[in-house]
Structures are given as structure tokens and as C-alpha cells.
Amino acid sequence: MAYNTKRLFIFLSVFVTVYVLFPSSGDGFDESQPVELVDSKRSNMRKFRTAHSFINSVYYYKNSKSLGKNAVSIVMITDQWSHNITDLPITILAKNSTNQITATTRNQIDGMPTCRYITTVALTNVLDNPETLEIQDENGEVMLLPFQYAKTTAPSKVMICISPQFAAEQWQLFVMHVHAAKQFGAHMHIYITSIIESYYKLMLEYEKAGYITLDKWIRIKFPDPKSAYIDANPHVEWRNQAGAQTDCLMKYKEAVDYIAFFDMDDILFPKFAMNYWEEFNYMYNVRPDATALSYGRREHEFIKPSTLDEFSFMEIVGSLKSSPLVKSGKVVIRPENYNSTWIHFTWHHPKQTRFEVESPHLVHVQRPLQKNGNENIKQLWKMTFDQLNETIREMDIVSIQLDFLTMKNSSHVIQEIKDGLPDSDFYLPVVFKCYYDRFYSWAFDKKEKPEGTCPNADECHLPQRPEYPCIHSDASYFSGPKMTPISYHYATDMVWTDQIGCYQ
């Protein structure tokens, strides 16, 4: 009798757990099967009992100014619609050769509530010299976490983190930005998903010369999901740009004094000092309690040279025209003030704590005029431009031009590839039209709102050109065991490959 009561109790508790806590939606969809639920409208708010997370990076800090001793940060995306991750500490099992401890994380998310998957940082502190870090779920299931030591040194005290480039072809913007960064004392960390091969070779030369560090930004995959899932790529804000910027923050947190989160087409010309480091010191002297310096992006037009031999900073600056339109800013921060970030800034500090710099603005060169090729995007998104209204010092331009010529002349590789660089835009109008239809049209031009407002254009069709092969990032993907309430996935052994093409 007691036995039967116990059986009945077990049966009832299973029933209560399955049917009361997780009522069936009645759509016959079986969450225990590893099948994809397609939500092309990005508006299905279904909660999954086992949700999925993709881990981008795990860093260990022996001594962090802001995170403490033996700190660990996990940068990932999580499914914010299935579970409230800020309410769900992750259990980390850390072992060194003599000891073992269990730690729990504090989690924070950064970004829009309108995308299912959101950039997330989990922080905790472990023990000295960890050899392994594992995630442990509530049933004791474990997964080994690949981790790396966060950087303690960097090529410069100022790092510019450039959000991921895909189908990258506008090498002119890179050449402008990289020499400006060098002139003003910054190193650039550039994430790439895909890029025209000749442009990639150009970047490699700048990496060899110490101007930049290239990094791979990969597509998200759940290779062996073990339970139902929704693909993350169409359900994360803009290819998880915030994740890349947050990875860059966590990588250099202890290694630099300032981090600028810019796009390739956001160029800053300092106004009060000779270099960025002194410029930012000056700004923080004005507002010592600021959590970030926010630089508005003023739209600019310029004439884009079609070959590297035509490239002249004097001519480019001579052709720059300013628009009265200043778009939402990008920030420069002291890394101890930020534990995560979004595309523009972190949502964890009140708006008033950001120092909105009135001048200078970022010179935003999103829409250059081509010497060759058509100007169709100008018809789609109209803007007016007038004379240049930002301060760009002539001596800086002369020095930048000299550095450019020296670099160009001294590299055999650049001499070999320069005529293979694309002389007109191919992907820019395709991508621009797609982004416009998907997002800008209702965000800026007040057109009809699409269903579901996760800013994402993963379905954009990108045509391929055999005459301009592309280099794409790839990796070995791994899925951990089925865990409750979240299964984790990650990638290792990232590589560049010429076998994929030009895709997002």
C-alpha cells in the first residue's frame, strides 16, 4: 500500500511537473526531439524547457582591477524568452592540481528585448591557476569549458574594436581608418566573418606590420542540439555584433586604458590633443564620473578612390561633406567601467552618466560616392550634405598620407594585390537595400513595421562572384550534453577558408 502511494505520488509529481509547470501548447510540437522550430516572423515567444546557449569566449583573469582575483568571464548568447538568465546563476566547477571549488556566476544581458537570443556575460571568481573549468547543471551533468587567459598587454593603450565585417569589400574605408588609428596612437581589433580575398590579403599585411589584429567572427551553430531549438542566426540582433564588442572588451579589459567600440566607417579625428589617449584623458578630466564618452556619428559623403594608386588622404578630405544629421553615438570607455556592452553602449548605466561629446563627432562615412559604379543607394535613402564641418588638421593628414605611401611602397604583397582590389561596390547596394527593407525603413523613414522587431537581416540573399573569391571564417563546432535549463554549444579551432564564399 505504501509502495503504491509512493508510485502514485511519483506519477503525480511527474504529471504536475510536465503538464502544470510546462503546459503543452497543443501544437503537437515535441520539444524532446532535436528538431528546429522555424519562426520566420521572429515573434514566436514559446518558452523551451531546455533552451540553448552559444558560448563565444571564456576568459580567466589572474588579477583584474574590476573583476577581482581569479576572475572568469563567459561571453555568450542566451535565449532570453525561455528563461530569465539574470535570475539563473551558472554553477562552475573549477579545478587546479591540488584543489577544487564550486562557484556560481552573476549574469548580465545587454541588448534588445525583441530578439530571442541576447548577448550575455557570466562573471565569477574561481581558484589560483585553474586547469579545468566546467559548467554543472542542476542534475549534475557537466561540460568542459574551453578558456583562455585574458590579455595583460596590448600593442597600444587605446584599442579600437571594430564590429564584425561580412562580404567586406570597401577596402578604402579600412585604409582610411587604419592610418588614422595609427596616427592617433590606437591599435585596431577587427572581427571578420567574410571578406573579398584581395582585401583580406591587404589586411594581413597591416596585421604583419602591427597596425591591427584580425579575429574571426563565426556563424552560430548548435551541431548536436539534443532537444528542440530555434536557430540563433536569424534571432540575434545584427549577427551578434554586441557579442563581438563584448568579447573585445573582455579580451582587453586588463590590457588597455581605453576601448573604442566603432564600426569600420566611424572615424574619429581628435580635436583637443595630438592623440586619442590624451584626447580621452582630457574628456575624462572634464567629466571624471562619466561611464563612457559618447561620440555622435555625423553623416559624411566623400569621393572614394577606385584604386590604391589613386588613394590620397588630401583628396579624400578635400571631398568630405558634412550632413547636419548626427546619428546615435558610439562609445569610448575605460574598461573597468564596463562588464558587457551592446552595439552602442551598455544598458547597465543610466543615460545621464554617458558624456555626450558635443564636438568632435565621428566622421561617419557610410555612403561614399564612387568614381566608378552607380549611386542607387542615394535614391533609396536621401540625405543632404554641405561643406565639411568637422575639424581635421592638415598636419595630421600630411602625416597620414606619408605613412600610407611608406606602407604601400614597402610591401611587395601590396604591390602584387593592389590591382586585384575591387574598384566598385558590389555587395554594398545589395546589403544596404536588404537592411533598409528589413529595418531602416521603419526605424528611420517611418515606413510600415515588419512583424517581430528583432533587428536582423540573416535572410538577405548575397550573390557570389567567381572573379572575386571570398575568405570566410569557420570552426569546429561542439555541443555539450543535454542540460537543464540550458544546453551549451561552442566552437574551437577557428580557421579562414576559401571554401564557403561571401556570406553573413
Binding track over 341-370 against ligand NAG, x by CB under 6 A:
-------x----------------------
Task: Answer whether the bond into residue 164 is a cis peptide, omega within 30°.
Answer: no
Window contacting ligand NAG (CB under 6 A); options: 30-38, 123-131, 360-368, 425-433: 123-131
Binding track over 245-274 against ligand NAG, x by CB under 6 A:
------------------------------
Phi-psi region of 452 (alpha: psi -120 to 50; beta: other; left: phi over 0): left
What is the three-class DSSP state of 325?
A: strand
By CB under 6 A, tell whether 470 contacts ligand NAG.
Answer: no
Window contacting ligand NAG (CB under 6 A); options: 125-133, 178-186, 308-316, 361-369: 125-133
- Of 51, 55, 58, 67, which lies in the binding site for ligand NAG, with binding defined by CB under 6 A? 67
Could you tell me the smallest distance in angstroms from the CB atom of residue 121 to ligand NAG? Answer: 9
By CB under 6 A, tell whether 128 contacts ligand NAG.
Answer: yes
Q: Do the Cβ atoms of 151 and 256 come closer than 8 Å?
A: no
By CB under 6 A, tell whether 98 contacts ligand NAG.
Answer: yes
CA angle (95, 119, 66) in 5-degree steps: 55
Cα(208)–Cα(200) distance, integer angstroms: 12
Adjacency order of strands within the sheet including 91-95 = 100-104, 91-95, 132-136, 142-144
Window contacting ligand NAG (CB under 6 A); options: 24-32, 81-89, 174-182, 473-481: 81-89
123 vs 161 by CB, closer to ligand NAG: 123
- Of 106, 208, 378, 447, which lies in the binding site for ligand NAG, with binding defined by CB under 6 A? 106
Could you tell me the smallest distance in angstroms from the CB atom of residue 324 to ligand NAG? Answer: 5
The position carrying cell 584581395 is 198
87 vs 448 by CB, closer to ligand NAG: 87
156 vs 401 by CB, closer to ligand NAG: 401
129 vs 139 by CB, closer to ligand NAG: 129
By CB under 6 A, tell whether 87 contacts ligand NAG.
Answer: yes
What is the three-class DSSP state of 62?
A: strand
DSSP string, 358-381: EEEEEEE-SSPEESSS--HHHHHS
Hey, what's the cell of 32? Answer: 524532446
88 vs 457 by CB, closer to ligand NAG: 88
1 vs 45 by CB, closer to ligand NAG: 45
158 vs 249 by CB, closer to ligand NAG: 249
**End-to-end Cα, the chain, rounded Å:** 63
By CB under 6 A, tell whether 99 contacts ligand NAG.
Answer: yes
Judged by CB under 6 A, the number of residues near ligand NAG is: 23
Hey, what's the cell of 216? Answer: 574571426
Classify residue 123 by burial, with Cβ atoms within 10 Å: 0-12, 13-18, 19+.
Answer: buried
Among candidates 434, 393, 382, 166, which has minimal Cα distance to 269? Answer: 393
- Of 44, 86, 91, 275, which lies in the binding site for ligand NAG, with binding defined by CB under 6 A? 86
Cα(251)–Cα(483) distance, integer angstroms: 28
Cα(483)–Cα(51) distance, integer angstroms: 9
Looking at the DSSP assignment, which residues form a beta bridge with residue 262? 162
Looking at the DSSP assignment, which residues form a beta bridge with residue 261? 161
Hey, what's the cell of 256? Answer: 588597455
- Of 84, 104, 384, 497, which lies in the binding site for ligand NAG, with binding defined by CB under 6 A? 84
By CB under 6 A, tell whether 65 contacts ligand NAG.
Answer: no
- Of 136, 337, 399, 453, which lies in the binding site for ligand NAG, with binding defined by CB under 6 A? 337
The position carrying cell 502514485 is 8
Could you tell me the smallest distance in angstroms from the CB atom of residue 339 to ligand NAG? Answer: 4
By CB under 6 A, tell whether 66 contacts ligand NAG.
Answer: yes
Cα(175)–Cα(400) distance, integer angstroms: 10
- Of 55, 58, 93, 123, which lies in the binding site for ligand NAG, with binding defined by CB under 6 A? 123
Amino acid residing at 416: E
Residues in region 396-455 near ligand NAG by CB under 6 A: 402, 405-406, 409
Could you tell me the smallest distance in angstroms from the CB atom of residue 457 to ligand NAG? Answer: 25
By CB under 6 A, tell whether 487 contacts ligand NAG.
Answer: no
Among candidates 156, 329, 161, which has minimal Cα distance to 242? Answer: 161
In this structure, the chain runs to a length of 504
Could you tell me the smallest distance in angstroms from the CB atom of residue 408 to ligand NAG? Answer: 7
Q: What is the DSSP letter of 309?
A: T
Could you tell me the smallest distance in angstroms from the CB atom of residue 349 to ligand NAG? Answer: 7
The position carrying cell 548626427 is 326
Q: Using CB under 6 A as the criterion, which residues of the chain lie in contact with ligand NAG when the complex forms? A: 66-67, 84, 86-87, 96-99, 106, 123, 127-129, 324, 337, 339, 348, 389, 402, 405-406, 409
